[in-house]
Structure 1
Amino acid sequence: LVRDEKGGKMSKSKGNIIDPLELIDEYGADALRFTLCAMAAPGRDIKLSKQRIEGYRNFTTKLWNAARYCQMNDCVPDSTFDPASCKETGNRWIVGEMAKLRSQLENAMASYRFNDAAQAAYQSVWNVFCDWYLEFTKPILNGSDEAAMAETRAATGWALDQLLIMLHPIMPFVTEELWQELDGNRETQLIRAGWPQYGDEAIDGEASAEMDWIVRLISLIRTIRSEVNVPAAAKITALLRDCNQQEQGRLARHRDLVLRLARLDTIGFSEETPKGSAQAVLDNATLILPLEGVIDIAAEVARLNKEIAKAGGEMKGFEKKLSNEKFLANAPEEVIEENRERLAGHAQHRDRLLDALARLQAS
């Protein structure tokens, strides 16, 4: 059942009916379709709001902009491209990611879990392809290695094609438009294109482990920078302690990528921890960010303690309400659930602040 954003049943008398034709005019049919799929969890009603549809319209825009990037860099479909021929680690990684997505979608759709299918597609398009893989391609496409450039163009065009095919059941209109736009000489419409047939054999375990490690390294540096208020424009130093040979090799191969995406001045190895550093564990290694002179560490510790106390106070308010038997007996279920979600949100926020404080106080 589709309900309004507060969980109420839609009716003319309440004036809370949302006309789907108006939503299509404002946000597009694909954004509405994706919203309904993403929220269609088995056994649960859909709480529909314009804000959610707007969010998935942004997803459609993200896909369109990714296609524009590919087109501008001549990353177009190549019928002769063989995904198994890739030599560049990033390209081997994206081939494997497409194989993982195909498996996730098939399993979800076979059991009618369309919400899981939509979320898997969203994650792969927004995070894997747009936020990471396209960023990995930029140094290669702007470089001088002709063989690497040719392979990367073909791999990028192929990966985008796979995403369009796999998104097509949920978003038929924008995917068909992009399918024709990227290659006007196609003999078949997207709706007639074959579903991907590759399986787990397309997953390169070594490339997956390497690029996943690079992604987690960059993400961890970005997280620490954000948590302790390092200025966005500041180029800082990063150090890795207790790295094994495999991790040292990964960093050596992707050093320039890490420097650019993590906004670092330098990154290297050290067995010492400078005073005033933030620290975090990454598999076998310890990531160290020397921050003395970059931020006022004493002031940042004070700020974090203040924010932790504030989050704790918010949590106590919700815990008191949710332990009140009268409130639980009389409040609507959606109100109780909202309070539980807000309590969980404050708890997660406090935990992140505690992690940030621990990192600053570790050295």
Structure 2
Amino acid sequence: AGDAVRDGRVKIEPEELAPRYFDWIDNMHDWCISRQLWWGHRIPVWYGPAGEVVVVGPDEIAPEGYTQDPDVLDTWFSSALWPFSTLGWPHESADLKKFYPTSVLVTGYDILFFWVARMMMFGLFAMDGVQPFHTIALHGLVRDQFGKKMSKSKGNTVDPIEFMDKYGADALRFTLARGANPGKDQALAEDWVGGSRNFATKLWNATRFAMMNGATTEGELPHVDSLNAIDRWILSRLSETITEVDALLEQYEFARACELMYHFAWDDLCDWYLELSKESFSSGDAASTKRVLGYVLDQLFRLMHPVMPFVTETMWTALTGGESLVIAQWPTARADHVDKKSEKLIAELQEIITDVRRFRNDQGIKTSQKIPARFIAPAHIEEYASAMAFVLRLQLEEITPSAHCEIGNVRVEFDLTGSIDVAAERARLEKDLLTAEKDKQTAEVKLGNQGFMAKAPESVVIEIRERLEKTSADIERLTAQLSKLPSA
């Protein structure tokens, strides 16, 4: 049983738990296999009137006057028979030939030596040296929200049925999967299950929005060359997510896989792609976007089905008209969809939108209020000015600017006549200026420290010098902006 793991016939995931297995398998002690329980396999040992002891097989009958041992076999002895005894053994049944050995055993690390090691020993013995499975995937224990072991006496036990009734089975399932790091215990809090329910609601609303706006899975997906950068970006992110999730699932890294799916769905798809695409839907020029959105949702639901089966099944069948996700093909990453150029461009748009939102917030301007504005930007960014303006509720027109913000090589000018809070704008600029001056001072101190410069890696020194250059430019820019503000 030890050699089966050492020579690679059986792999333990995660590998760091293999020493626990060897600690037990290489240092065996006598095992009392009899138990005094009501239920279990009767021990097939019979005693004669003169003290004789015989073992009686399944097709044999004990001699007259013999009595059977009253004890039953230890639970783990019986459980060790599971991989082959349930398939028709000792007969060469069709099920035994097909399903033994199986592929993956998933179980908790706490019964690695109680159950797993014993299945290995019994399987190798009864099945002529053939191991019962190829991989042992070990997970941790579910603990309370503070990481404490659940106990009735402590009153910190969790009833999963209550969580399912309150938040849905998918919410509980996703919460558990999202916390399932190989071989590590996980805490479970009601707030986290509620958060997963909110995630399911987010997906539901996104699907509803998509279907109301004509998202479809019918027809060929447009060639990437015919798509705008926003559509190419989401296809690129989808393909990368599928590739990464596939790799993580193969490694039984369920928590990390769920984290990737969560952030793709919530951040990339809902918070950015749908928002940036609303201008296309509003203008009526969204034929390609409708097909891309339908494709992305279709693939995402397939990817998420193992961890959120019920809600993805409902949304997928409604969107595609398909019979069931259970029999749908697993999503496949497409290398021709990966587009780093579009990813870089959308990252620039995201930075611009984030900064303008911050500017509006600092000025106390309501998110619903439209502001006359204009973008002064390179052509590749200017092309998506209307999409950004739709998200930011800016009214693009020729203006006499009264305020502006700069993000890299992009300048966004606003006409805030009658609405700008000069005091707030001055406070914002002074705050940014103070931060820039502190960053500059920190960089200068490090670059002037001979001991630090002698020990620091070249890449770190380069990074600090670049930071000094940037903060110096920021100080110059912010000082100029402050000087241009009205005296209030």
TM-score by length of 1: 0.71
Structure 1: tracts of 5 or more residues without a match: 307-354
Instruction: Give the corresponding residue for 2:391.
Output: 261
Taking the aligned partners of 1:165 and 1:83, their CA distance within structure 2 comes to 22
Q: Is the 8 A contact 1:31 1:57 kept in 2?
A: yes
Are the structure 2 counterparts of residues 104 and 118 from structure 1 closer, same or farther at C-alpha, using a change threshold of 3 Å?
same
Instruction: Give the corresponding residue for 1:7.
Output: 147
Give yes or no for the alignment of 1:197 onto 2:332. Answer: yes
Which secondary structure state, in structure 2, belongs to the residue aligned with residue 217 of structure 1?
A: helix
Which secondary structure state, in structure 2, belongs to the residue aligned with residue 15 of structure 1?
A: coil
Taking the aligned partners of 2:346 and 2:250, their CA distance within structure 1 comes to 30
Q: Which amino acid aligns with 1:249?
A: A
Give yes or no for the alignment of 1:226 onto 2:361. Answer: yes
Q: Which moved more, 1:164-173 or 1:251-260?
A: 251-260
Structure 2: tracts of 5 or more residues without a match: 1-140, 432-473, 483-488
> Considering only aligned residues, what root-mean-square deviation do their CA atoms show, in Å?
3.3
Which secondary structure state, in structure 1, belongs to the residue aligned with residue 216 of structure 2?
A: coil
Are the structure 2 counterparts of residues 265 and 137 from structure 1 closer, same or farther at C-alpha, using a change threshold of 3 Å?
closer
Rg larger for: 2
Q: Which amino acid aligns with 1:106?
A: D
Instruction: Give the corresponding residue for 1:46.
Output: 186
**1:35 pairs with 171, 175, 178, which one?**
175
Q: Is the 8 A contact 2:279 2:390 kept in 1?
A: no
Taking the aligned partners of 1:224 and 1:76, their CA distance within structure 2 comes to 37
Give yes or no for the alignment of 1:298 onto 2:423. Answer: yes
Are the structure 2 counterparts of residues 360 and 177 from structure 1 closer, same or farther at C-alpha, using a change threshold of 3 Å?
farther
Give yes or no for the alignment of 1:154 onto 2:291. Answer: yes
Are the structure 2 counterparts of residues 127 and 203 from structure 1 closer, same or farther at C-alpha, using a change threshold of 3 Å?
same
Taking the aligned partners of 2:343 and 2:230, their CA distance within structure 1 comes to 9
Q: Which moved more, 1:259-268 or 1:63-72?
A: 259-268
Q: Is the 8 A contact 1:278 1:291 kept in 2?
A: no
Q: Is the 8 A contact 2:163 2:172 kept in 1?
A: yes
Which secondary structure state, in structure 2, belongs to the residue aligned with residue 265 of structure 1?
A: strand
Q: Over residues 257-286 of structure 1, what are the superposed CA-to-partner deviations in whole Å (9 max), with x where a residue is unaligned?
A: 21121122348899xx96xx574543x446
Q: Which amino acid aligns with 2:175?
A: T
Are the structure 2 counterparts of residues 66 and 268 from structure 1 closer, same or farther at C-alpha, using a change threshold of 3 Å?
same
Taking the aligned partners of 1:360 and 1:226, their CA distance within structure 2 comes to 21
Instruction: Give the corresponding residue for 2:307.
Output: 170
Are the structure 2 counterparts of residues 40 and 240 from structure 1 closer, same or farther at C-alpha, using a change threshold of 3 Å?
same
Taking the aligned partners of 1:287 and 1:130, their CA distance within structure 2 comes to 25
Q: Which amino acid aligns with 1:250?
A: H
Are the structure 2 counterparts of residues 193 and 85 from structure 1 closer, same or farther at C-alpha, using a change threshold of 3 Å?
farther
> What pairs up with 1:334-345 in 2 under 5 angstroms?
none
Offset, 1:238: 5.5
Q: Which amino acid aligns with 1:53?
A: V
Which secondary structure state, in structure 1, belongs to the residue aligned with residue 283 of structure 2?
A: coil
Instruction: Give the corresponding residue for 1:339.
Output: none
Taking the aligned partners of 2:264 and 2:328, their CA distance within structure 1 comes to 20
Give yes or no for the alignment of 1:98 onto 2:98. Answer: no
- Report the number of matched residues: 298
Which one has more relative contact order, counting CA pairs under 8 Å at least 6 apart? 1
Are the structure 2 counterparts of residues 203 and 19 from structure 1 closer, same or farther at C-alpha, using a change threshold of 3 Å?
same
Instruction: Give the corresponding residue for 1:16.
Output: 156
Give yes or no for the alignment of 1:251 onto 2:375. Answer: no
Are the structure 2 counterparts of residues 295 and 18 from structure 1 closer, same or farther at C-alpha, using a change threshold of 3 Å?
farther
Runs of 4+ that moved beyond 6 A? 267-270, 288-292, 300-306, 358-361
Q: Is the 8 A contact 2:170 2:309 kept in 1?
A: yes
Are the structure 2 counterparts of residues 265 and 118 from structure 1 closer, same or farther at C-alpha, using a change threshold of 3 Å?
same
Offset, 1:53: 0.7
Q: Which amino acid aligns with 1:129?
A: L
Q: Which moved more, 1:202-211 or 1:10-19?
A: 202-211
Taking the aligned partners of 1:16 and 1:91, their CA distance within structure 2 comes to 48
Are the structure 2 counterparts of residues 72 and 62 from structure 1 closer, same or farther at C-alpha, using a change threshold of 3 Å?
same
Give yes or no for the alignment of 1:117 onto 2:257. Answer: yes
Sequence identity percentage: 35
Which one has a larger percent helix, Structure 1 or Structure 2? 1
Which secondary structure state, in structure 1, belongs to the residue aligned with residue 206 of structure 2?
A: helix
Q: Is the 8 A contact 1:278 1:361 kept in 2?
A: no
Instruction: Give the corresponding residue for 2:435.
Output: none
TM-score by length of 2: 0.54
Q: Which amino acid aligns with 1:87?
A: L
Q: Is the 8 A contact 2:302 2:330 kept in 1?
A: yes
Are the structure 2 counterparts of residues 269 and 35 from structure 1 closer, same or farther at C-alpha, using a change threshold of 3 Å?
farther
Are the structure 2 counterparts of residues 30 and 266 from structure 1 closer, same or farther at C-alpha, using a change threshold of 3 Å?
same
